[in-house]
Amino acid sequence: MIRKTIFFLLLALFSLFSYAEEINKRALESWLSISQKNISSSLIKVIADQVMIEKKKKGIDPAITLGIIRAESNYRTTAKSGYGAKGLMQVVPRWHRDKIKGRNVYEPRTNIEVGTQVLYDCLNKRRGNLNAALNCYSGGAGKRYKTTIANVKKEVREHMRVYAILNRP
């Protein structure tokens, strides 16, 4: 009897967790569609999905990832810098060949996966200090870069909170 009760409690918790993840993903899609008029609905779904996957794998806050994407490429998948950084998160292939492993760095899923791995590595090197990790990630881009990310983080979190309240079952 106790095993059955524990099983059903765990099942209920898992269902609640899965529901919360789905709501968060839909909230990210909603925020992207409102704030980024220049990207397609299919790209919105890919970005939101991959950002949530990387949150589960690496614990990277989706709002931070979206802030980096805005600061680095303004959500343009084909963005390229004079320095050779490419894609949404402006990954530099010559520095991250081991993470790219021959894949197309312009492909949004690959770019977000590699970009969040670079940020994860920077967070580890900087002992969890986000400001220092952002300096590491961006090569020292400075205050404006961090302000953009902080503003996006605030917008996304507020939108997610409101979205969750408005979409309660």
Predicted confidence (pLDDT) per residue in 95-110, tens digit: 999 999 989 999 999 9
List, for residues 61-78, the tens digit of each pLDDT value.
Answer: 999 999 999 999 999 999
Q: Active-site residues: which are they? A: 72
Return the pLDDT at 22: 86
CA distances from 155 to 7, 34, 148, 165 (A): 38, 11, 11, 16
Spatial separation of the C-alpha atoms in residues 72 and 97, rounded to whole Å: 19
74-82: which pairs have CB atoms within 8 A and are 24 or more residues apart?
A: 75/32, 75/36, 75/38, 75/39, 75/43, 75/47, 77/43, 77/106, 77/108, 77/111, 78/106
pLDDT > 70 in the chain, percent: 88
- The whole-number average pLDDT for the span 119-146 is 91
